[in-house]
Structure 1
Amino acid sequence: MYTLLTGATGLVGRYLVRDLLLNGHELAVVVRPSRKQSPRDRMEEILQHWERELGRALPRPVVLSGDIAEPGFGLSPEETEWVADNCSSIIHSAAILEFYGKDRAGEPWRTNLNGTQNMINLCRESGIKDIHYVSTAYVAGLQTEPVMESSLSAGQLFRNDYEESKFCAETLVQQIDFADHVTVYRPAVISGDSRTGYTNTYHGLYLYLRLMSVMIPPVPADENGYRHTPIRLRMTGDERRNIIPVEWVSAVMCRLFETPEARGLTFHIAPDKPISSREMIEYCGEYFKSTGVEFHGHGELPPLANRAENEDQWMFERMVMENAETYAPYEQTDNTFDMTNTKKFSGDIPCPEIDKTVIFRYIEYGNEDRWGKRKPDVERVKNWTEDALQNHVNTDASNGRRQMVGLDVYGPGGCQVTLELSPSGLHSVHRGLPDQDLPVLRVSNADLESAIRNQENAATVRQAWEGADSELAASLTTMLLSALELQTIAVRS
Structure 2
Amino acid sequence: MDSLAKATYFFTGFPGFLATRIIDKLIENGSDSDFELLVHPSAMEQAKIRTKRLAGNGRKIGRIRIHEGDITKADLGLASAVSGELNETVTHVFHLAAVYDLAVPEALAQAVNVTGTRNVNAWVLHCRKIERYVYFSTAYVSGTRKGTILETELACGQGFKNHYERTKYDAEVLVHYVRDRVPTTIIRPGIVLGDSRTGETEKFDGPYFIMRFLDKFSGMPIPYIGKSRAAINLVPVDYIIDATHHLSRSSAGIDKVYHLTDPSPYMARDAFRLIAEELAGKKPVFTVPRSSVYMMLSMPSFRRWVQVERETLDYFHLEAEFDCSGAAADLSQAGIRCPDFADYIPKAVEFYKENRHDPRKLIEVK
TM-score tier, shorter chain, comes to 0.7 to 0.9
* TM-score normalised by L of structure 2: 0.83
1:200 to partner: Cα distance: 0.6
**Secondary structure of 1:172's match?**
helix
Q: 1:342 aligns with which of 322, 327, 332?
A: 327
Alignment counterpart, residue 278 of structure 1, candidates 260, 269, 284: 269
Does the 8 A contact of 1:31 with 1:63 survive in 2? yes
- 1:166-315 mapped onto 2 (5 Å cutoff): 166-176=168-178, 179-216=181-218, 219=219, 229-236=220-227, 238-287=229-278, 288-290=280-282, 292-296=284-288, 299-300=291-292
Structure 1 18/140 Cα, relative in aligned 2: closer, same or farther at 3 Å?
same
Equivalent residue, structure 1, for 2:350: 364
Q: What TM-score, normalized by structure 1, do the two folds share?
A: 0.63
CA contact (8 A) 2:179 2:255 kept: no
Q: CA 1:65–1:257 in structure 2 vs 1: closer, same or farther (change >3 Å)?
A: same
Higher relative contact order (CA 8 A, sep 6+): 2
Q: Determine if the alignment matches structure 1 residue 17 to structure 2 residue 16.
A: no
Structure-2 residue corresponding to 1:133: 135
SS of the aligned residue for 2:185 comes to strand
1:43 equivalent in structure 2: 51
Alpha-carbon separation, structure 2, partners of 1:215 and 1:136 = 31
SS at match of 1:132: strand
Which structure 2 residues correspond to residues 314-329 of structure 1 after superposition, within 5 A?
323-329=308-314
Tell me the SS of whatever aligns to 2:156: coil
For 2:82, give the aligned amino acid: E
Q: Secondary structure at the match of 1:366?
A: helix
Structure 1 spans left out of the alignment, 5+ residues: 220-228, 304-316, 376-493
Provide the residue aligned with 2:10 in structure 1: 4
**Residue in structure 2 matched with residue 147 of structure 1 by the alignment:** 149
What is the total number of aligned residue pairs between the two structures? 342
Verify the 8 A CA contact 2:230 2:320 in the aligned structure 1. Answer: no
- Displacement of 1:283 after TM fit? 2.4
Residues 149 and 80 (structure 1), Cα distance of their counterparts in 2 relative to 1, 3 Å cut: same
Amino acid at match of 1:10: G
Over the aligned positions, Cα root-mean-square deviation in angstroms equals 2.8
Letter in 2 for 1:349: I
SS at the partner of 2:308?
helix
Structure 1 counterpart SS, 2:312: helix
Kindly indicate whether the alpha-carbon contact (under 8 Å) linking 2:15 and 2:47 is maintained by their aligned counterparts in 1: no
Identity among equivalent pairs (%): 24
1:200 & 1:340 partners in 2: Cα distance?
29
- 1:166 maps to amino acid: K
Aligned partner of residue 257 in structure 1, secondary structure: helix
Q: In 2, Cα distance between the equivalents of 1:56 and 1:374?
A: 29
Residues 68 and 119 in structure 1, CA contact (< 8 A), matched pair in contact too: yes
**Alignment match, 2:100:** 97
Match of 2:109 in 1: 108
The one-character-per-residue Cα deviations of 1:433-469 (angstroms, maximum 9, x if unpaired) are: xxxxxxxxxxxxxxxxxxxxxxxxxxxxxxxxxxxxx
**What is aligned with 1:73?**
76
Query: 1:346: Cα distance to partner?
Result: 0.2
Question: Would the alpha carbon gap of residues 132 and 360 (structure 1) be closer, same or farther in structure 2, given more than 3 Å must change?
Answer: same
Contact 2:212 2:306 in 1 (8 A): no
Q: Deviations over 1:60-98 (max 9, x none)?
A: 633222222222111122321221121022111111112
Structure having the higher Rg: 1
CA distance in 2: counterparts of 1:23 and 1:100, whole angstroms = 37
Determine the C-alpha separation between the residues in 2 that align with 1:263 and 1:197: 31
- Corresponding residue of 1:472: none
SS of the equivalent of 1:4 reads strand
